[in-house]
Amino acid sequence: MNLNFRPWVAIGLASLVLLIGSPGLAQTTRTIEDNMAERTRACTACHGDQGRAGPDGYYPRLAGKPPGYLYHQLRNFVEGRRHYGLMIRLVDPLSDAYLRETAEHFASLHLAYPAPTPSSLKPAQLARGQALVTRGDKALGLPACVACHGDRLTGAQPNVPGLLGLPLDYLNAQLGAWQTGQRRAHAPDCMAEVVKRLPQDDIIAVSSWLASQPLPPDTRPAAQAPRPALDMAFRCGSAPELSAPTGGRP
């Protein structure tokens, strides 16, 4: 494909031009190839080498996430359902086909996860977080996280993300964004409905428990999403397999 249609390559070439007057250029320049590793350098500058996650706790892992989920998040930035200026400026000029190609690239990378960080919460708070994740809370009308994100909490193909291996700060920030409406998804927005019912202490308990859990031996998303018997309020527009009534697609 012509490089004029590869924005990430264009970014790399622009950076190279700035180096033309640098001493030792002959020793430091390298050939910029037209491949996904080069074209996604603008992504990995924040999200870490090969999309392993950024070092500051706010840039999440991209590697190994379901392709549908990654694609939907890129579209959400383009269409105003998620708000972060840098991401919006990066993805806004890209074609839909290019966004899909980028999502497929990162989804294909199955890399080792770092060890989780132990939580500083009291055992009772962590137990509350575990209970919400694994069993939900009928009194609050909350389904368990595992009902959609899978028993191993590693997500499901093609649209449901995993919840393990994410930094605590990122989890807190995203749950807070759902709660305030800064982050949205296609209607019906199941996550918005879930988080609206969570008290602040429960949000902290859930994110802290998730961030402190080790990954299972197989970290890949499940082959298909579970079919939980969810209340209609929790149908998920960005995950069609969770939007259909139990027993079949509409």
* The predicted structure's pLDDT at residue 243: 60
Is it true that the peptide bond before 158 is cis, omega within 30 degrees of 0?
Answer: yes
* The predicted structure's pLDDT at residue 7: 47
Give every CB contact of residue 142 below 8 A, 6+ residues apart in sequence. Answer: 132, 136, 194, 197, 198
- Rounded Cα distance between 138 and 140, Å, is 5
Cα dihedral 227, 233, 234, 236 sign:
positive
* The predicted structure's pLDDT at residue 195: 93
Q: Which amino acid is at 220?
A: R
* The predicted structure's pLDDT at residue 14: 42
* The predicted structure's pLDDT at residue 34: 82
* The predicted structure's pLDDT at residue 90: 93
- Rounded Cα distance between 139 and 119, Å, is 26
Q: How many other C-beta atoms are found inside a 10 Å radius of the C-beta of residue 66?
A: 24
Domains of the chain (ranges; CATH) run 3-107 (1.10.760.10), 123-242 (1.10.760.10)
3-state secondary structure of 156: strand
According to DSSP, residue 184 is labeled -
* The predicted structure's pLDDT at residue 87: 94
For residue 96, what is the enclosing H or E element?
helix 96-107
**Could you give phi then psi for residue 89, rounded to 5 degrees?**
-65, -35
- Rounded Cα distance between 11 and 118, Å, is 39
Q: Tell me the β-bridge partners of 137.
A: 142
Tens digits of per-residue pLDDT, 163-219?
999 999 999 999 999 999 889 888 888 899 999 999 999 999 999 999 999 999 999
From first to last of the 250 residues of the chain, give the pLDDT tens digit: 333 444 444 444 344 333 334 445 445 666 777 889 899 999 999 999 999 998 888 899 999 999 999 999 999 999 999 989 999 999 999 999 999 999 999 999 999 998 998 999 999 999 999 999 999 999 999 999 999 899 999 999 999 999 999 999 999 999 999 999 889 888 888 899 999 999 999 999 999 999 999 999 999 999 876 666 556 556 777 776 666 543 332 2
Structure tokens at 84: 């972060």
3-state secondary structure of 222: strand
